[in-house]
Copies of this chain bind each other. A is one copy, B any other.
Amino acid sequence: MTPPEPRPRDRGIPEATVARLPVYLRALQALDDRGILTVSSEHLAETTGVNSAKLRKDLSHLGSYGTRGVGYEVEYLIYQISRELGLTQDWSVAIVGAGNLGRALANYGGFGTRGFRIAALLDADTAVLGDTVAGLSVGHIDALEDVVDRENVSIGVIATPAVAAQEVCDRFVEAGVTSVLNFAPVVLNVPPGVDVRKVDLSIELQILAFHEQRKADGYAGLDPFGKGPV
């Protein structure tokens, strides 16, 4: 998704590793909550569903934080991964689109607890202005530039209908936002230096459907009453 220009090496941490660090982080926090002090790569790999060698190589990109014969100290590793991901500082996020999805995002608990602060929830529809969602009052889209500027927003979330997405994106970029998380089913056009990540619910379903069809084809002879398409 992200790398049209592959960026000059990101201080050497591979993109694939970056994508897995949040997963490790979440598992480690669960271990920490249970009072577990150390964990081996084998165990952590199992609970996160990756190969243990891959996990060790991923972590080795951050430094040598393990102890041979013992494993990794949970709290220390949490801190190191958080620091690497930039979660030891707070990030302001603005969400545009106060429909079902925008509200779901604003209510999503994972944000506040992990270094993300929702600075504003904006919408173009005057009918929803002033609605209170997750302790936030829905603002008008016209305030976008003000909010970005005043609250130092660096990450913009687009949860609008497809037709509005590009315009919102342009306004985000123009206002100085350099990272965009896009839920609208369109490919956004952005200048170099701006990162876009896209989440598309219907694409995920279509990928599942593909594999489901394969299974149905392959097992048809063995399992004539298996769950198939309707």
- Is there contact, CB below 8 Å, between B27 and A187? yes
- Interface residue tally for chain A (C-beta within 8 Å): 78
| A 1-49 contacts with B by CB, 8 A | 2, 4, 7, 10-11, 18-19, 21-23, 25-27, 47-49
Nearest chain B CB to A183's CB is how many angstroms away? 9
Closest to A133 in B: B100
- In the complex, A221 has a CB within 8 A of chain B: no
User: Which residue of B is nearest A157, CB measured?
Assistant: B205
Tell me how far the C-beta of A118 lies from the nearest C-beta in chain B, rounded to whole angstroms. 11
Evaluate contact between B202 and A208: CB separation under 8 angstroms.
Answer: no
Query: Which residues from 97 to 126 on chain A have a C-beta closer than 8 Å to any C-beta of chain B?
Result: 99-101, 103-105, 107-108, 110-111, 114-117
Can you give 15 contacting A-B residue pairs, CB < 8 Å? A11-B214, A22-B202, A25-B206, A26-B203, A86-B209, A86-B212, A99-B104, A100-B107, A111-B205, A151-B230, A153-B227, A178-B226, A195-B211, A197-B207, A199-B199
